[in-house]
Structure 1
Amino acid sequence: MILAWARPLCHRHPTKKTLALDLKTEAGREAMKRLIATADVFVENYRPGAFDDLGLGYEEMSKLNPQLIYCSISAFGSTGPRREVTAYDNIIQGFSGMMAMTGYGDKPLKSGAPVVDYATGTTAAFAISTALFQREREGGKGQFIDVSMLEVAMILYSSHITSYMWNGKHPEAKGNTYPFATIGCYEASDVPMMIAASNLTQQKALWTALGREDMIKMNNNQRLDSHAEEAAVLASIIKTQTADYWEEFLNKKRVPAARIRRMEEVMADPQVAARQAIQALSDPNSQVNGLKVPVSAFKLSSSPAEVNKAPQPVGAQSEELLKELGYSEQEIANMRKQGATN
């Protein structure tokens, strides 16, 4: 039975094969070494030093496989005074200062999605791709990749860091507002919507479309100084029509705008269908057969992404994969007796 809390995780593991190994056993560690010896990339997200203690750290594994790209992901990285501290997405959102600049005033707010978790995975994938490319260009030598969730979070708000380094002021939490009033959340007659007339050209297009050419500014300093006035004028205009009306009207005028949507609306939007962004898991023997999940945020012209197999139970392919590594049926049976595999 797939527990309700585990279903959201199903999008992370389609098409994968799973091998269960108890790395506290000698046989489990030996099997891991055989696997690593054949691998292009190895990724782990235990506390720094844990795999070194098992004899599976980068220094040892690079001797076994000099071409290995070894990626280690942790909360604070493999060096520094906090290297052994455990943390998760919400902890890093709080520690990094991200929450303190999200929400309103002195009420910190966590992002609705685990953005640090996802950005960390994306960063690791980018780093691995970079290392693979460098390996190809520079003689086939592998290297160690050290990914820190804290530093990923800092990159996500790097513009705020630059501002702080310039003026020494902590970025205030201003909710859905922005320094320019023509960017932000406004209440239409029915539901809230977002408007993003970001640059001077777009703010001119916005005020022209709304018949308020008198509000057009010639430079960004004028926009900053007029925030309160512009916000009040925009609010009074936007509340006169529905969000759908303004979304269509403003986009036709080349002013980015969108009604704030709920999940069911996004999933039913024809843009999502046209991009085939959601696919159903196909595995008649799986408890999640037919479950729809996101596929990929990018499209490759010659190798499109697809979900062709549902997530497998841990160790579902242990015997198959161990045989690929050269283990006999008797050796696998012995490993099971020792608790090294399932």
Structure 2
Amino acid sequence: MEMGRPFEGFKVLDMTHVLAGPYCGYQLALLGADVMKIEPPDWPDPVRARGPVPSMNDARMGMNYLAQNGNKRAITLNLKSEAGKRILKQLVKDADVVIENYRAGAFPALGLGYDEIKAINPKIVYCSITAFGQAGPWATRTAYDPVIQSMAGIVMKTTAGADHPVMPGAPFIDYATGLNAAFAIASALLHRERSGKGQYIDCAMLDTALTMIGPALVADNYAGPKKPTPREAGLDCYLTKNGYLQLGAYNIKQNNRLWGFLEHPEFCNLESWQDLWDNASKMRSALQEVMLTRTAEEWEEALAAVRVPSSRVRTLEEASMLPQLAERGFLQEIAAEDIPAGVRVPGAGFIFREDGPRLTSPPPRFGQHTETVLKELNYGAESIAQLRRDGVI
């Protein structure tokens, strides 16, 4: 029997906004889940209004929103109203997953926490995504990616020595948290298939951030004797004839191949990490001089031929045009009447040989499927009209 994509037949209620939560739901949707995006009727997901095209922002279809909301359906629902709660509880009855990323305690205060939802559907997998988790002195604080990167020490660690801290230019923690949550949900669903039991998942951005800087965290947290080590010269960025080249000669063998290619016999037979550290300053000086003899493109090609990782420092626009991405079909164009041609969004960061992740429908308009979903729940036209008059939808 042909099964299709891994999450086909699974229903996900996605009550999230901004990046981390929607990205989690997007990953499940790419793999076939029926993901229903639920937004308050008076408060659309804020990223709907963010992006470089004002007309798309005005239409609540900003590019920031498009990037992680494909393959979903969208409804509006006022969960502060009793009628809205009743509708959500109807949806929960045959759902598999609930995802929410509001302040800790907000959903239990509405009577929609895990315990209440579990009473309706004992097999539910309920995932709460927050900045700091559900317990602890900061549980009720809110935060966004830059705050978490700063709190986790990432900004100071990655810009040490700069005149002032420099924030990384992308929301890595948001997207890593979304992936972390999606993995947790997939794991909980597998556990449910084996045990028949649902699960509550407490996913915190701060925890995710610190896992992403794990080696440095372990080293900095160790209170015993330590010997500081310099940054290896083979992992630095160098000015070339026409721009910068990032070297990625990480291990001993790669360094030996690099220096053999550069005809520097004094460095091409090193045997240990300590050798790399002891020679880092001399190696860096030699690299700074030799890198100026070729263009970044020339170095990238030449070093690839001897299996030494490197890359010309590219702009994001240049990266999006890489033939490697085209070959893998990573960026997929959204085809929809109300979205301009040429809008391409990332898919998943992996490929299946069969039945893998794919974009099958455009990101939904605000409340696009509200009436359709209510009709599926046997609400008639007049009942739907009354819900609209009452501000429930």
Q: What TM-score does the superposition give when structure 2 sets the normalisation length?
A: 0.81
CA distance in 1, matches of 2:232, 2:74: 50
Query: Aligned to 2:148, which of 76, 82, 92?
Result: 92
Shifted more, 111-120 versus 317-326: the winner is 317-326
- 1:192 has 2:244 as partner: yes
- What is the CA deviation profile of residues 230-280 of structure 1, one whole-angstrom value per residue up to 9, with x for unaligned ones? 100111111111111111111101111111111232222211111111111
Alignment of 1:119 with 2:172, yes or no, is no
How far the C-alpha of 1:333 sits from its partner, in A, is 2.0
- Give the aligned partner of residue 20 of structure 2: none
Cα offsets for 1:33-75 (capped at 9, x unmatched): 1111211000000001100011000011101000000000001
Instruction: Give the deviation of 1:324 after TM superposition.
Output: 1.5
2:212 is matched with which residue?
Answer: 156
| 8 Å CA contact 1:164, 1:170 repeated in 2 | no
Among 114, 124, 129, the residue aligned to 1:68: 124
The match for 1:25 is 81
Distance in 2 separating the partners of 1:32 and 1:288: 33
> Per-residue deviation at 1:24?
1.1
Name the CA shift for 1:76/1:168 in 2 (closer, same or farther; >3 Å): farther
Change (3 A) 1:320 1:168: farther
User: Structure 1 167/219 Cα, relative in aligned 2: closer, same or farther at 3 Å?
Assistant: farther
- Which structure 1 segments of 5+ residues have no match? none
Contact preservation (8 Å) 1:289, 1:310: no
Backbone CA RMSD of aligned residues: 2.1
User: 1:224 — aligned with what?
Assistant: 277
1:9 matched to 2:65: yes
Q: Secondary structure in 1 aligned to 2:73?
A: coil
Deviations 1:87-125 (A, max 9, x none): 000111111111111224152221111000000100000
Distance 1:147 1:62 in 2: 18
The count of aligned residue pairs is 335
Q: Secondary structure at the match of 2:74?
A: coil
Q: Deviations over 1:204-223 (max 9, x none)?
A: 11110100121132211121
1:208 and 2:234 are equivalent in the alignment: no
CA contact (8 A) 1:200 1:220 kept: yes
In structure 2, the residue matched to 1:143 is: 199
In structure 2, what is the equivalent of residue 247 of structure 1?
300
Give the ranges of 4+ consecutive aligned residues of structure 1 lying more than 4 Å apart after TM superposition.
167-172
TM-score for both structures, normalised by structure 1: 0.93
Residues 80 and 257 of structure 1: CA distance in aligned 2, closer, same or farther (over 3 Å): same
How far residue 304 of structure 1 moved from its aligned partner, in angstroms, is: 3.5
Q: Which residue of 2 aligns with 1:273?
A: 326
Work out which of the residue numbers 48, 51, 59 in structure 1 matches 2:107: 51
Distance 1:45 1:124, change over 3 A: same
Q: Which residue of structure 1 aligns with residue 5 of structure 2?
A: none
Give the match's secondary structure for 1:19.
strand
Instruction: Tell me how far 1:293 sits from its aligned partner.
Output: 1.4
Q: Secondary structure at the match of 2:176?
A: helix
Say yes or no: does 1:81 pair with 2:137: yes
Amino acid at match of 2:294: Q
Moved more, 161-170 or 7-16: 161-170
Q: What is the distance in 1 between the residues matched to 2:180 and 2:155?
A: 21
Contact kept? 1:101, 1:108, Cα under 8 Å: no
User: What one-letter code is carried by the residue in structure 1 that aligns with 2:372?
Assistant: E
Cα shift at 1:168: 6.7
Matches of 2:341 and 2:93, distance apart in 1: 34
Change (3 A) 1:181 1:120: same
Residues 1:40 and 2:93 aligned together: no
Deviates more, 1:261-270 or 1:2-11: 2-11
